[in-house]
Amino acid sequence: MLILKTKWFNKWAKKNAITDKALNKTIENLSNNLGTIDLGGSIYKIRTPKLGRGKSGGFRTIVVFRKSDIAVFVYGFAKTDKDNLDKEELKYFKKLAKNLLKIENKKFIELEKQGSFISLKV
């Protein structure tokens, strides 16, 4: 499975000390349907723990996901900053997911070399 972060998400994750190890665990939870909310259109909201704290006081990450194929972290926010996505944000992410899922995995590798996406370190 290809697991990527957008350039924006990578910057946000670094700022909030969210490690690739924590993000890999988030994808594992998503694959096992633990602590995830299906927002439709291949968009999922998943709890991601804050360093040194549990998931409940942590972050919410938005992931474009197709089981056993690809996961792209596209957005994140602290639960203390906002409860959920608004209708316009959700509409935007669904359109983004549709476009991202049209891209073949080998094209993502090219886009990663150009700096648009970053692979998670395992």
Question: At which residue do the structure tokens 């190890």 appear?
Answer: 21
CA 88, CA 92: separation in Å to the nearest integer? 6
Q: Looking at residue 66, what is its pLDDT? A: 93
Write down the pLDDT at residue 68. 84
In the prediction, which pLDDT does 21 show? Answer: 92
Mind listing the pLDDT tens digit of every residue in the chain (122 residues)? 899 999 999 999 999 999 999 999 999 999 998 889 999 999 999 988 776 655 556 899 999 999 889 999 999 998 888 888 999 999 999 999 999 999 998 899 899 999 999 999 87
- Which residue type is seen at 20? D
Burial class (CB in 10 A: 0-12, 13-18, 19+), 94: middle
Residue located via tokens 């900053």: 81
